[in-house]
Structure 1
Amino acid sequence: MRRIWALWITMLVATAAAGCAGGDGLGGPGDDPDRLRKQARDVLARYDEAVQAAGGQQRYVPVGDLTGQLGDWEPERGENKASLLSGQVLAGGVLPAAPQATGTVTWDGGATLDVPLVGADAALAAIPRSDCGGCPPLTATGARLTTAKISTTRGPATVPAWEYTLQDTAVRVTRPAVAASAAVTVTPPSWDPFNSPGGLPIDSASVNAAGTTLTLVFTGSPGPASQPCGADYTGEVVESANAVVVIILTHPHAANEACTAIGYRRTLDVDLAAPLGERALLDIQQGLPMQVTRS
């Protein structure tokens, strides 16, 4: 799984860099606008299914990698980094059950949500795993229930989490103790190198106090379309009752310019038809929810 992530990251960097070399007024060089709109609708449909699978609510939507690391690997345990990145963490015995049925998710703004908990075995089994080319698995020898800070669509939150001790190292690993049934979980489409998704990726996003304007940060050309190798950007918003997808349209200085493939930080404001509320912002390429900083 994490190797697929690496491929995605490579494609994102390539797409962003290509945006510096001019394009054709679409989401990215070579992107067809009708294809991007269909892609956005497909993303929203997958998310709607994930929300329904979570009981129709989306107050708790984790974002990004949920496996945490406490401490640094000892010099002689350098191979453990690859093991953890590939999710190769196995139980070395019976791990504790949750000491209570529910716990509380607390957002930085003070909002709270009671959620069902799972035992340390189940939380460990939920770590995504991938082939790491023979790296040695890590053995969890014990666990205690504590808390960890994670990212969610509604901003940073402190969640109940299991902290695992590992064999032959002082490094500990954390994983949320929240039951999967309490979270909206999106499965991205299978990686297809011959039909990779289009669209410019968003690096980060914030929303104004009214919830009606998103400010997006992304990687683009160095200057405006009035300059060689520059580009202007506009956004096209596709919305549903559960989520929002933004297609970033590129308006280059000229098509097929030979430019340095270096990306620059650009920002774009887009207005929503309705306040964001508890809806998620989804990235157009994988359809995964993103953290949105709220004023």
Structure 2
Amino acid sequence: MARRGWLVWVVTALTAVSGCGVIGGPGGDDQDRAHQQARDALTRYDQAVRDAGGAQSFVPVGDLTGQLGDWELANGDNNKQALLAGRVVVDGELAAGQTTGQVVWEDGRTQPVAVLSARDAIAQMNAVVGDCSGCAPLQVTAARLTTARIPTTRGPATAPAWEFTLKDTAVRLTRIAVAPAIVVTPPSWDPDQPLALSIESATGATTSQQLTVAFTGSPEPGSKPCGADYRAEAVESANAVVVIVIEKRHGFGESCADVGARRTATVDLAQPLGGRAVLDVQQGMPVALTVTG
């Protein structure tokens, strides 16, 4: 899936291995700020769960709007900007579709869900903030209900989705069509000055009190120049876990290449993970979870 959605965004900002803007060592103001940021993220997520009726059995990760095909050269820039600005309009009648469906996970689990109408799905696509002064809107001429694969806080799943045909282009748009939505609004932040490393995914069992998170860090361990070691801390609520990754560098002021590698860290939880989401500390958004049991 591509673009923005009504639920979640996963931000995987690369952090220079020199450690700029990264929490390092025990204690300190940055670590206190990170814990406060984590608590704020839990407050926002807990409220979003309450607003959605208290259930979080299906929580997609990433953008819920997708694109099939590439924009043609003749109108590609206009169409791209119109999509980013939420300028999608309906030209004529659309298929009614069905009102119920199901989400199917790769392990065979299923969950019955309510299905959005095509017009409601388009309205959610348009619920974005963007500037598209003078660009022509995208015109939807037809819609069909299908399915799409998307990562969730419980592993990859296939969910009901609308596929939209557009006027004057072969590109089609898709939109996950599950309701109600857990809407999390991230705070404003400066990607050039991250407070902490952004986790990209998590792995763990629902019955376990250990969780492993993956992130981009130094290619080398802390025993080598420009290297770093990592540990993780968790801030928890009944609905989610925010993981803070703390870096211990080989040394400060080293001149290092701005190259990152996939690293992992394991964190101990106060309670088994259960059905809780795992959130990234930077924006408080859920990340994809691989459930091992």
Structure 1-normalised TM-score? Answer: 0.85
Establish whether residue 91 from structure 1 lines up as the match of residue 90 from structure 2.
yes
Q: Which structure dedicates a bigger proportion of its chain to helix?
A: 1
User: Which residue of structure 1 lines up, in the alignment, with residue 103 of structure 2?
Assistant: 105
Return the alpha-carbon distance in structure 1 between the equivalents of residues 224 and 34 of structure 2. Answer: 27
Q: Secondary structure at the match of 2:146?
A: strand
Question: Does the CA contact (< 8 Å) of 2:18 and 2:253 recur in 1?
Answer: no
Q: Which amino acid aligns with 1:32?
A: D
Structure 1 residue 136: deviation in Å?
3.1
Structure 2 match to 1:261:
258
Determine the C-alpha separation between the residues in 1 that align with 2:150 and 2:276. 18
Q: Note the 1:1-295 alignment, pairs <5 A.
A: 12-13=13-14, 16-17=15-16, 19-20=18-19, 25-26=24-25, 32-79=30-77, 80-97=79-96, 99-127=97-125, 128-129=127-128, 130-132=130-132, 134-179=134-179, 181=180, 183-189=181-187, 191-193=188-190, 198-208=195-205, 210-295=207-292
C-alpha distance in structure 2 between counterparts of 1:84 and 1:219, whole Å: 30
Contact 2:24–2:248 under 8 Å retained in 1: yes
Once residues 24 and 275 of structure 2 are traced to their aligned partners in structure 1, the CA distance between those partners, rounded to angstroms, is 32
- Check 1:145–1:62 CA distance in 2 against 1; reply closer, same or farther (3 A cut): same
Alignment root-mean-square deviation, CA: 2.7
Distance 1:196 1:186, change over 3 A: farther
- DSSP 3-state at the match of 2:45: helix
SS of corresponding position for 1:52: helix
Q: Distance in 1 between matches of 2:210 and 2:178?
A: 31
State whether residues 17 and 226 of structure 2, in contact with CA within 8 Å, keep that contact through their aligned partners in structure 1.
no
Question: Deviation of residue 36 (structure 1)?
Answer: 0.8
Identity %: 55
Ranges in structure 1 where 5+ consecutive residues have no aligned partner:
3-7
Residue 85 of structure 1 deviates from its aligned partner by 3.9
The TM-score normalised by the length of structure 2 is 0.86
Deviation at 1:100, TM superposition (A): 3.0
Give, in whole Å, the separation in 2 of the partners of 1:250 and 1:156.
30
Alignment check: 8 A CA contact 1:142 1:166 kept: yes
Paired residues, what number? 281
